[in-house]
Chain A
Amino acid sequence: AQSVTQLGSHVSVSEGALVLLRCNYSSSVPPYLFWYVQYPNQGLQLLLKYTSAATLVKGINGFEAEFKKSETSFHLTKPSAHMSDAAEYFCAVRGSGGYQKVTFGTGTKLQVIP
């Protein structure tokens, strides 16, 4: 079984500051890992995904995440926060063999302070 833990249900950063959203995973098989963003009253949009290729994954809107097996982590970062980054972010995991259910974390709401 797979699971993810997102540390911090709410994160506040100043505009222009570093964004760091934390995600730790648990998986009995090599995982695929995802970050999704959800704006108010909208569905989830894929930011980036790790599928066992490069450990540093670059996504849309300037976000990136690094897969660290030794730390079982997949933290999401962005060097400089924009007001438009305010949203809820979900980390998700699935196993890499055949069909595996995607399991989502509980989400981190990012607030960007002007």
Chain B
Amino acid sequence: EAGVVQSPRYKIIEKKQPVAFWCNPISGHNTLYWYLQNLGQGPELLIRYENEEAVDDSQLPKDRFSAERLKGVDSTLKIQPAELGDSAVYLCASSLVSGGVADTQYFGPGTRLTVL
């Protein structure tokens, strides 16, 4: 069974440019997470989706970040415009939530963003 797929794996852009990351979760997983991982730090949650609904986006900087999960499967995370401080790894994870209990989160390989 395929794991969580993310693309691109690496992205280099200049500041003020837009950028988008794509994630395809494990088949059948209804919950999808986007995390930000700065160098030398653990992942920090940006947004969590249950099916199509963003149920926790309290940590998403909404002035420049947006996300969508159309049809409750794939998801896209966008930054516009990018700033130097956005350089980090963006991780996507998915899990199966049943009866309000979340199973283990499975992570994709991440997208490493460099903003010049």
Interface residues of A (CB under 8 A from B): 9, 34, 36, 41-46, 49, 90, 92, 94, 98-102, 104-107
Which residue of B4, B9, B42 is within 8 Å of A104 (Cβ)? B42
B56/A49 in contact, CB under 8 A: no
* A-B contacts besides A102-B45, A104-B42, 14 pairs, CB < 8 Å: A34-B104, A43-B93, A43-B107, A43-B110, A44-B91, A46-B104, A90-B42, A94-B102, A99-B55, A101-B48, A106-B40, A106-B41, A106-B42, A107-B42
CA distance A94 to B48 in the complex (A): 15
A99 touches B100 (CB 8 A): yes
Over the window 41-75 of chain B, the binary record of Cβ atoms lying under 8 Å from chain A Cβ atoms (1 yes, 0 no) is: 11111001000000110000000000000000000
Let me know if B101 is at the binding interface, CB within 8 A: yes
Q: Is B25 an interface residue (CB 8 A)?
A: no
Shortest A13–chain B CB gap in Å is 20
Q: Name the one of A43, A49, A94 contacting B4, with C-beta atoms under 8 angstroms.
A: A43
Question: Would you call B43 and A98 a contact (CB within 8 A)?
Answer: no
Return the contact of A44 from the options B41, B43, B55, B101 (Cβ within 8 A). B43
Q: Does B105 contact A (CB under 8 A)?
A: yes
Inside 8 A of B108's CB, which chain A residues have their CB? 43
Please determine whether B56 and A98 come into contact, CB atoms closer than 8 angstroms.
no
Residue of A with least CB distance to B55: A99
| Neighbour of A105 across the interface among B42, B100, B106, CB < 8 A | B42
A100 to B56 CA separation, bound complex (whole angstroms): 11
Partner of B106, one of A46, A49, A92: A46
> With A98-B100, A99-B102 as given contacts, are A43 and B109 in contact (CB-CB < 8 Å)?
yes
Chain B residues closer than 8 Å to A42, beta-carbon distance? 109-110
B19 in contact (CB, < 8 A): no
Question: Does residue B77 face the partner (Cβ distance < 8 Å to A)?
Answer: no
Report how far A77 CA is from B41 CA in the complex, Å.
21
CB-contact partner of B40 in A9, A41, A104, under 8 A: A9
For B81-109 the 0/1 string (1 means CB < 8 A from A) is 00000000001010001001110111111
Query: How far does the alpha carbon of A100 sit from the alpha carbon of B103 in the complex, in Å?
Result: 11
